[in-house]
Structure 1
Amino acid sequence: MSTVKFNAVIATPTQTGVAILCALALSACGGGSSGGAAQQNPNDGLLRSVANNEEFVSQFRALYTRPAPSSDQQNSMQPVAAEGATTGDSSSGNSYSTTYTLEADVDELDVLKYDGDYLYIAPTLQARCCFVTPGIATAEDTSFAPPSPDQSAGIRILSTTPSDATATQVSTIALDEGEYVQGMYINGSQLISIGSTQYYGAYGDQWLGIASWQQQNLHIKVYDTSTITEPELNWDIGIEGGLVDSRRIGDTLYIISRHSPYFDNMYYYPSNQNETDANAQRLASIQPQDLIPLLTINGESRPLFTPQNCLLSRDDQNQDYASPVYTSVTAIPLGSPNNAKSLCFNENSSGVYVSQEALYLSQYRYTVDGDASRIHKFTLNDGSPEYRGSADITGQLWGPGQSDFRMSERNGLLRAVTTRFTGDQQDSRDHQLSILGEASQSKSLELIASLPNTRRPEEIGKPNEALYGVRFLDDRAYFVTFEQIDPLYVIDLSNPADPYIAGKLEIPGVSDFLHPVNKELLLGLGRGGPSQQSIKLSLFNITDISHPQELNSLLLGVDGGWNYSEAQYNRHAFSYLPSATGADRLAVPVQSNYQDADESYRSENRLYLLEIESKAAPATASVKLISSILASPAPNDSWHPGQNRSVIDGDAVYFLSGDAIWSALWGGGTNQSGPY
C-alpha cells in the first residue's frame, strides 16, 4: 500500500456539504469501478483497501441489516430503537524531569507539563476512573473514583523558581463551556491541549461497544506561548469522534480517534427480521458523506478521510468483528495542521502502542478457542501512517493498568505478551510471549517465535498467577506474576527466534510497574506489607539474569492504613531524574486512608522523595527514602483527590495533587510551600 494521500478541500462552514461531496467525487475518480465488491488480493492482509464509494457504503449498510451476534459478543447495552436524542521515558537529558513515557522520544498526553521554566496544569479530568476488562484483576480494581472536575480555572501556567522551590501563576487559558482537557503537549513555544466530550481512560470492555462512541467530538488547540502572559490561540482543530489516544513524535501529533455514524430511529443491535428491514429502509439512501467524520481547522471543514483512505476487514464471510465504528489515525504537522493526513479501518480498537517508527492498534476478539487479539501495524514514515500488516495471536493484551507495556518494538520486531483465560480452576490463566515481524510477500505479521513452546514448555507464571508488571528492555523482558507471592521472570530475547526464561526470583508482594535504573538495576513499584496494604518499592540486581536478586525494599504509606499510588497503574504519576555523577532521584505519590488516635477516618496525599544510591556498584546499590511532601489533608474525606503528578528540577520538587501545586526543596522535610 502506498503512502496515504489526502485530497485536501478547504471550505467555509457554509460550504461544508459541498466540500464533502467534492472531496468524495475526487477520490472516486481514482477508485476503480462505480460498483461491485473489491477484488481481494491475497497479499492485502487482514485489512484490505476499499475499491470504491459504493463498497464503502454497502459494507456499513450490511452491518445493520443482519441479526446481531450472540449475546456474549455484543455490547451490554440492550437493543433499542434510537429516538433522535443523545447524551452528550522520563529522562530528557535535562536537569529536570519530564513526563514519564513508555518509549524515548515518543511524548505522551498528560495533565502536567514542564519545560524547565513553566508548569502547565490542566484542570482535574472528568470520569477519570477506568473501565476494567472482566477476568483481569490488579491493584487498580479497588481504586477510588475522583470527584467531578472544576473546569472554571482553565489551564494554569506557573513560573517556577527552583532555587527556593517556589512558583508564581503568570497566566490562565480559559476553557469553553463543555471543554474538558484530557491532557497537553509542549513543542518548543507551542502548547497543545486535547480534549473530548467523553474519554474512557485505560483500555477495557467499553472500547468494544458502538453506542458509547456515538456523537462525540474531540478538540485540539495549539497555542503560541512566546508571550507567556498572553498565550495566543493559533490553531483550533476539531475532529468528529471520540479520543482513543495520542502521541507526539517531533513536530507531528498523532491522534487515534473513533467515530460511530449516528442515525435517528435505528436499531443498533437488530435482533429480528423486522428490525433489520427497518434499518435497511433507513439506510437505503445513505452516501459516503453521511458516514465520514469531519476535520475542522480554524472554522473550515473537510472530510477526515476519503473512502479510498479507509481499510476494510477481510472478515467478509463472518462479520462478527467488522464494525460500524471507524478507527482513524491522523498525523497533524504542528507547524502546518492543514497538511494533516488520515487513514481509517472499520474495526474496533481496544489498545494502542507507539514506537518511534510504527503505531500498533489491537483489538480484543472472541473466538471458539477462547480469547484472542488482532494487531494491525502502521508505519509512520514522513508523518504518513501506512498499513503494513496484521496478525491474530492467542490471548488478550488489554486490561486495566499500564497494559501497553505488554508490547514493545525492537529492530522492526514486535514483542507482545498476552493472557488467555482457560476456564480451568486449577490453572485459570496462561501467559504467552509472541514475537512478530513483517512478512516479505504479504501485508501480514508473521509469528517468529512464541514462549512457552514445545522446545521450552515452562510456563510464564505458576498456576492461577495473574500478570502484573511487564517491561521490555532491549533484548530482555521482565514479567511479574502474582497470586500469593511475587515471581519476577527474566526473559532472554537476544535471539528473537528462541526466547527463553533465563531466571526468576520469588519474593513477597507484587510489582505493578517496573523501571530500569540501568542495565544492572531494576526498580519495582507495587504492593507489599501486611495484607498487601502498603506501597512497596523493590530494587533488583539483574546483572546476572539467571539469578536476579532483591537488594532492598521500602514500604510507603501509613502503617495500618490502606495505601494506594496512582503510579501503580499510570506511569505519568511516577517521576524519575537520573544523575550522571550522583544518586538518581525519584518521586512516588501515595494516598493513605486510615484511622487516627481518636478513631476518626483520615485521608492524606503525600509525595515520597527517594534516591537510588551506589547505582554504579550494583551489588551494594539501594533505594533510600529522603523526605516527603504532604498535600493538605482532607479529614473524613476518602475520595481520591484527583490527578497526582510531580516534577523534579535540581533540588526543587513540585507536587500536583488535584488542581493545586505544593513544593519543597529536596530533603527539606516539613519546609514546604503551597498550595499554588
Structure 2
Amino acid sequence: MYQSLSSTISLSIILLGLAACGGGSSGSPLAANGSIEKGLLRAVKNDAEFIDQFRAAYTRPVDSNNNLQAVAANEANAPSADNGGDSTSYSTTYTLENNVDELDVLKYDGDHLYIAPTLQSRCCFVSQGGAFADSASFAPPSPEQSSGIRILSTNSETATTAELSTIPLEAGEFVQGLYISETQLISIGSSQYYGPYGVQWLGIFGWQQQNLTINIYNTSTITQPELTWKIGIEGGLVDSRRIGDTLYIISRHSPYFDNIYTYPANRNEANANAQQLAAIQPQDIIPTLTINGESRPLFSPQNCLLSRDDPKRDYAYPVITSVTAINLSSPNTAQSVCFNEDSSGVYVSQKALYLSQARYTSQAGNTRIHKFKLNAGSPEYSGSADIAGQLWGPGQTDFRMSEYDDLLRVVTTIYTSDSTDLRDHQLSILRENTDTKSLDLVGSLPNTQRPQEIGKANEALYGVRFFEDRAYFVTFEQIDPLYVIDLSAPADPYIAGELEIPGFSDFLHPINSNLLLGLGQSAQNQGMVKLSLFNVSDINNPSELGSLLLGKEGGWNYSEAQYNRHAFTYLQQADGSDRLTVPVQSAYNTEQDGYVSENRLYLMEINGKTNAAAASLDLIGNIIASPAPSNNWYGGQNRSVIHNDAVFFLSGDYIWSALWSDSSQQTGPQ
C-alpha cells in the first residue's frame, strides 16, 4: 500500500522569467554574466528566432535537408555506484562513472530490494551483428507479472527475502527505472524509451505526443511508501543520472500539429506547412513541466541554445533536447537547458554533461560535442569541439567517452570509401579552453608521428574502456585484438601493447591497473559466452591469464551484460578477493523436453589479484531461474546483488537467492 499525494505540499510557482532555464544565471545555460560571446553555441535572440528555427524544419523540402538524410543512411549501416572501488558489504548498480548513479530496474540499499516490473515493450538489446531485436525476442506477458514496484526485505545471513509492499501503477504507466536516495525512492516512467544514443535519435515521430513522469516516494515507513512529489515533463525520456542530491533528466520533445507533412517532399508541401504554422507561438512549441499539478513552461525561448551561423548547415530540426536538473530536496526549483537542434547522444561525468551531434560537412562526417558544466546542479554551457568520425551507434557507446583530469577522451569511427579498409578508429583528447569556449585538441591517435591504426583493416570497434591514464580497445573481424593505449602523456598517446586471441569482447571491466576482464563471445566455441581475465601489468605485453565459457554448449547463449552494464555485478571483498556475477540466457534442444530456454546467474571469483601473473578467474557455481507458476520463459531484465555471502538474482519480475558458499541450495521465486 502507499499513501496518496500529500495535500499539504504547497508549491511556489516561479515566474517564467526565472523558471527553468530562463532568467537569472542560477537557471541559465549561459555564462555567469548571462551571455555567450564565444563558442560554437549561442543563445536564441528572441521569440521570433525561436519560432523561425522550429518552423524552418517543416518549410524546406526534404531534399534541402541532405545532411539529416546522410546521417540517417550512415547510422543505419553502422556496425555494431562504484564498480570495484573500496570494499563494502554489498553491491550497487554498476555504472560507467563512480559517484554518478544510473537509472535501473533494480536498486538495493543493504536492507531492501526495489524492483520495477518488466516492460515487455522495452527497447532494445543488441544482437551480435549490431541489429536491434524485434518484439518477438521479448518475453510474453505473464499472468503473475507484477503490476507495481515491489519492495522486498533481505536477510544476508540466510539469503532470503520477504515482500513488504507494492506500489501500484496507474493504467498506462510504464516504469523505465528507479533511483534510491536516503529515504527517497524515485521512479521514472515513460510511454516509450529509445535509449541514450542510436538511430532513434534521428527520427521525429518517436518524440511526439509523449510524456514522462517522475514520482518521488518517502520510504521512511517502508511498508507504506508515501508519494510526495509527482513531476511530469512533456516529451520522451532519453536518459538520466543522479549526482548527489540532484537528478538530471535528458528528454526530447517534438510538438505535434495536425495536417503537417513531417518530411515535405516538394515545395508545395513545404508551402502548405508554412501556412499551417504561420500563427504558432512559443507556447505551442515549448514542452510543459508539471509539479504536483501546477504547470509551467519547461524553459524560456531566449535561453535556448543554437549553433552559431554556419553556411554549411542548411537544415533545421523540429526536436528539442532538454536537460532538466531536479534538486531532490526541493523539486519545485527544477531548472532546464534547451538545445534547439538535432542531437545524437549524451555522456555524463561527475562534473559535466556532454551533448553531441553527428554532422556531415564532408563525406566521412564528424561529431560536434558540447560541454555543459554541472555547477550546483545547474547545467551551464562551457565549450564545444568538432572531431572526425562518428561517435554513437548500437550498444553501450558512451564507453567511448571519458573525462579524466579535466580532459575529455573520445574514440570515433570514420567510415571510408575504401573497400579494403571500410573503417578507421580515431582517439581524440580534448581540454576545455575557458577563454574561447572551445574544447581544444591536446592529442590524437593515429597521427603523423604515430601512424599505426587502431585495429586491422575492416575491423569494427567493440569493447572500449578508459581507466585512469590508459585505454583498452577491442576490435574484431575474425580475431580479437586487444589494444592497450598509454594516455599518461595526453599530447602523445600511443599503442603500448597488443594481444590477438580468437573471439571478441563487448564489455571490459578494469579490476585494477594490472588486471582486466573482457566479456563477449567465443570464436572457438561458437554460441558460448566467454569471460576472459587479462594481465595488463606489463603495458607492452598484455596476456590472457584464463577464461571461462558460460552457457549451454551446442545451444544459443547470450548475456545481457554484454550490452547492458547494469546486468554485470562486481564486489570487492575485504580479504582481497573479488566476486562477480554474469547472467546468461540459454536456448537449446533436448530429446526429452524439446526446446528449452533458461536463465542462469554465474558466480565467479578473482583470486590472487595482488600478484597479477598468478591471479585466477574461478567459477564458483550458478543460480537457475527455475520456472515460476504459468511462466517458463524469463526475458527482459536480469540483475543481481551480492551482499556478504548472499546472492539475490532478479530474472524477469522474480527473485531467486542462494548463499555464495552453496549456490545449489537456492530459494525462489519470490
Give the 3-state SS of the residue equivalent to 2:318 in structure 1. Answer: strand
Residues 123 and 193 in structure 2, CA contact (< 8 A), matched pair in contact too? no
SS at match of 2:398: helix
**Separation in 2 of the partners of 1:300 and 1:244?**
24
CA distance in 2: counterparts of 1:564 and 1:363, whole angstroms:
32
Letter in 1 for 2:138: P
Question: Are 2:125 and 2:132, in contact at CA under 8 Å, matched by a contact in 1?
Answer: no
Post-superposition CA distance 1:303-356 (Å, at most 9, x none):
111112210122553445532111011110000001111111112222211111
Match of 1:145 in 2: 137
Paired residue for 1:631?
625
Cα distance in 1, alignment partners of residues 456 and 23 from structure 2 = 55
Between 1:201-210 and 1:564-573, the stretch displaced more is 201-210
What CA distance in whole angstroms lies between the structure 2 residues aligned with 1:643 and 1:131? Answer: 11
**Equivalent residue for 2:170?**
176
Residue 526 of structure 2 corresponds to residue 532 of structure 1: yes
More displaced 10-residue stretch of structure 1: 431-440 or 234-243: 431-440
Aligned to 1:613: 607
Q: Distance in 2 between matches of 1:405 and 1:372?
A: 18
How many angstroms does 1:232 deviate by? 0.2
Contact kept? 1:21, 1:289, Cα under 8 Å: no
2:645 pairs with 1:647: no
**What residue number does 1:90 align with?**
83
Distance 2:18 2:568 in 1: 49
Give the C-alpha shift of residue 92 in structure 1.
7.0
> Taking structure 1 as reference, are residues 309 and 491 closer, same or farther at Cα in structure 2, changes over 3 Å only?
same
Equivalents in 2 of 1:121, 1:579: separation in Å?
A: 25
Q: Is 1:113 aligned to 2:107, yes or no?
A: yes
Aligned residue type for 1:177? A
Cα deviation for residue 147 of structure 1 reads: 2.6
TM-superposition CA deviations, 1:480-522 (whole Å, max 9, x none): 0111111110000011111000111111111111111111111
Greater alpha carbon shift after TM alignment, 304-313 vs 327-336: 304-313
The alignment partner of 1:90 has SS state of coil
Q: Select between 67-76 and 470-479 the one with higher mean Cα deviation.
A: 67-76
Q: Does 1:413 align with 2:407?
A: yes
- 1:465 corresponds in structure 2 to 459
Which residue does the alignment assign to 1:435? 429
Quote the Cα distance in structure 2 between the aligned partners of 1:524 and 1:23: 46
Question: What CA distance in whole angstroms lies between the structure 1 residues aligned with 2:37 and 2:525?
Answer: 54
Unaligned segments of structure 2, at least 5 residues: 1-9, 25-34, 73-81
Once the two structures are TM-superposed, the CA of residue 420 in structure 1 deviates from its matched residue by 1.5
Q: Which residue of 1 aligns with 2:474?
A: 480
For residues 206 and 142 of structure 1, the distance between their equivalents in structure 2, rounded to whole angstroms, comes to 14
Separation in 2 of the partners of 1:139 and 1:522?
27
Contact 2:639-2:649 within 8 A present in 1 as well: yes
Q: How many Å separate the matches in 2 of 1:298 and 1:92?
A: 39
Residue 209 of structure 1 corresponds to 203
Letter in 2 for 1:400: P
Whole-angstrom distance in 2 between the partners of 1:548 and 1:657: 35
Q: Which residue type is aligned with residue 447 of structure 1?
A: L
Q: 1:474 to 1:114 in 2, by over 3 A?
A: same
In the other structure, the counterpart of 1:194 is 188
Query: Deviation per CA, 1:397-420, whole angstroms, max 9, x where unpaired?
Result: 111111110000012111000112
RMSD: 2.8
Deviations along 1:540-571, whole A, 9 cap, x unmatched?
Answer: 11111000111111111111111100000000
Residues 314-323 or 612-621, more deviating? 314-323
Deviation, 1:532, is 3.0
User: Partner of 1:388 in structure 2?
Assistant: 382
8 Å Cα contact 1:260-1:326 kept in structure 2: yes
AA in 1 matched with 2:543: Q
- How does the TM-score come out when normalised to structure 1? 0.89
Is contact 2:298-2:336 (8 Å) kept?
yes
Q: Contact between 1:490 and 1:503, CA under 8 Å: does it hold in 2?
A: yes
Partner of 1:354 in structure 2?
Answer: 348
- The answer to whether structure 1 residue 56 and structure 2 residue 50 are counterparts is yes
Q: What is the CA–CA distance in structure 2 between the aligned matches of 1:462 and 1:226, rounded to whole Å? A: 56
Decide whether the 8 Å contact of 2:56 with 2:316 is kept in 1: no
Equivalent-residue separation in structure 1 for 2:65 and 2:512 (angstroms): 49
Q: TM-score, normalised by structure 2?
A: 0.90
**For 2:632 and 2:658, how far apart are their aligned partners in 1?**
25
- 8 Å CA contact retained: 1:647, 1:655: yes
Q: Report if the CA contact (8 A) 2:634-2:651 is conserved.
A: no
**1:124 aligned residue:** 118
Please tell me the residue identity of whatever aligns with 1:254: Y
Is residue 2:558 matched to residue 1:564? yes
Q: Distance in 1 between matches of 2:452 and 2:17?
A: 59
- Quote how far apart the aligned CAs of 1:664 are: 0.4
Cα shift at 1:578: 0.7
Question: SS of the residue aligned with 2:53?
Answer: helix
5 Å matches for 1:173-322?
A: 173-201=167-195, 203-320=197-314, 322=316
Compared CA separation, residues 617 and 92, structure 1 to 2 (3 A): closer
Q: For residues 131 and 166 of structure 1, do their structure 2 counterparts lie closer, same or farther at Cα, with a shift above 3 Å needed?
A: closer
How far, CA to CA, are the matches of 1:188 and 1:653 in structure 2? 23
Unmatched runs of 5 consecutive residues or more in structure 1: 1-8, 29-40, 79-88
Indicate how the Cα distance of structure 1 residues 637 and 450 shifts in structure 2: closer, same or farther if over 3 A, else same: farther
Between the aligned partners of 1:640 and 1:667, the Cα distance in structure 2 is 25
Distance 1:620-1:648 versus aligned 2 partners, 3 A rule: same
Which among 360, 365, 371 is matched to residue 365 of structure 2?
371
**Deviation larger for 490-499 or 50-59:** 50-59
Q: CA deviation digits over 1:116-174, x for unaligned, max 9? A: 000000000242232879xx944977997323566752000000011110000000001
The alignment partner of 2:91 has SS state of: coil
Matching residue within 63, 67, 71 for 2:61: 67
Distance 1:552 1:394 in 2: 37
Q: 2:320 — aligned with what? A: 326
Q: Is the 8 A contact 2:503 2:524 kept in 1?
A: no
Distance 1:599 1:163, change over 3 A: closer
Distance 2:262 2:621 in 1: 55
Distance 2:67 2:627 in 1: 45
Letter in 1 for 2:231: I
State how far apart, in whole Å, the 2-side matches of 1:55 and 1:305 are.
Answer: 15
Cα deviation, residue 284, structure 1: 1.4
1:531, 1:543 → 2: CA distance?
A: 28
Task: Determine helix, strand or coil for the equivalent of 1:207.
Answer: helix
Identity of aligned residues (%): 68
In the alignment, the residues of structure 2 paired with residue 191 and residue 268 of structure 1 have an alpha-carbon distance, to the nearest angstrom, of: 39
User: Structure 2: how far apart are the matches of 1:601 and 1:148?
Assistant: 16
Q: Is contact 2:64–2:314 with CA below 8 Å preserved after alignment?
A: no
Q: CA deviation at 1:586?
A: 0.3
Residue from 448, 454, 465 that aligns with 1:454: 448
The 2-side partners of 1:126 and 1:319 are apart by 40
Query: In the alignment, residue 427 of structure 1 is paired with which amino acid?
Result: D
Q: Which residue of 1 aligns with 2:336?
A: 342
The answer to whether the 8 Å contact 2:118/2:652 transfers is yes
User: Are 2:67 and 2:315, in contact at CA under 8 Å, matched by a contact in 1?
Assistant: no
Tell me, what secondary structure is at the counterpart of 1:416?
strand
Q: Is the 8 A contact 1:563 1:593 kept in 2?
A: yes
Rounded Cα–Cα distance in structure 2 between residues aligned with 1:62 and 1:321: 8
